[in-house]
């Protein structure tokens, strides 16, 4: 067993747990304070699911990485664990009903902002170079929007941000992953 295979098993377990958590949450749609389905929560769950699947797939790019240190291993472990944390925030363990997004907004945005900081470091480590020029602005703007979401605490902003996040992720998959 290579080091990559050994590490990929752990990454797969954590990603699988996060995916399970997100999918189980989608079976019981959350309600907002008005008693209607919380669209923001559903769309963020969908966006994180799409992002998790693409990150999991792109983990194969680590296959050619030859020299693993404990620091690199811990960074990758922390990075993929952020997805599990986002999943548990959106779909808490052992809860009959999911919380409305407004109840988990601060935690979700804080973890998402942390993800935006860690992601470029992971890409730099994996590829040995900075991410493409168009990738950094995407992470910076997601970080800024997450920070703004913590500050504003506004349902309309949350809804628009969730839709934007989902749109950008899907566009990124088609533009960067399939064509480049």
The secondary structure of residue 97, as a DSSP letter, is S
Q: Is the pLDDT of residue 180 over 70?
A: no
CB 91 within 8 A of CB 21: yes
Contact (Cβ atoms closer than 8 angstroms) between residue 90 and residue 44:
yes
Lowest mean pLDDT among 48-52, 119-123, 143-147, 157-161: 119-123
Query: pLDDT digits over 1-45, tens only?
Result: 888 898 999 999 999 999 999 999 988 888 887 889 999 999 999
User: Residue 89 CA to chain centroid, in angstroms?
Assistant: 12
Please tell me the distance from the alpha carbon of residue 76 to that of residue 83, in angstroms, as a whole number: 12
**Residue 178 pLDDT:** 64
Q: For 97-156, how does the pLDDT look when each residue is reduced to its tens digit (9 = 90+)?
A: 899 999 999 999 999 999 999 999 998 888 777 767 778 889 999 999 999 999 999 999
Per residue in 56-86, pLDDT (tens digit) is: 888 888 888 878 899 999 999 999 999 999 9
What angle do helix axes 101-127 and 135-152 make, rounded to 10 degrees?
160
């Amino acid at each position: 067993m290579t080091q990559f295979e050994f590490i990929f098993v752990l990454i797969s377990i954590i990603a699988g747990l996060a995916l399970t958590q997100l999918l189980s949450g989608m079976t019981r749609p959350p309600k907002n304070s008005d008693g209607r389905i919380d669209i923001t929560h559903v769309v963020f769950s969908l966006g994180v699911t799409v992002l998790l699947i693409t990150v999991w797939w792109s983990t194969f790019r680590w296959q050619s990485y030859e020299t693993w240190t404990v620091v690199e291993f811990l960074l990758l472990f922390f990075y993929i664990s952020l997805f599990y944390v986002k999943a548990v925030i959106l779909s808490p363990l052992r809860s009959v009903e999911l919380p409305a997004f407004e109840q988990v907004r601060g935690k979700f945005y804080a973890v998402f902002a942390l993800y935006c900081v860690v992601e470029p470091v992971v890409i730099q480590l994996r590829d040995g170079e900075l991410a493409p020029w168009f990738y950094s602005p995407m992470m910076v703007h997601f970080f800024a929007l997450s920070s703004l979401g913590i500050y504003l605490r506004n349902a309309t902003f949350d809804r628009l941000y969730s839709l934007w996040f989902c749109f950008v992720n899907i566009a990124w998959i088609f533009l960067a992953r399939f064509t480049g």
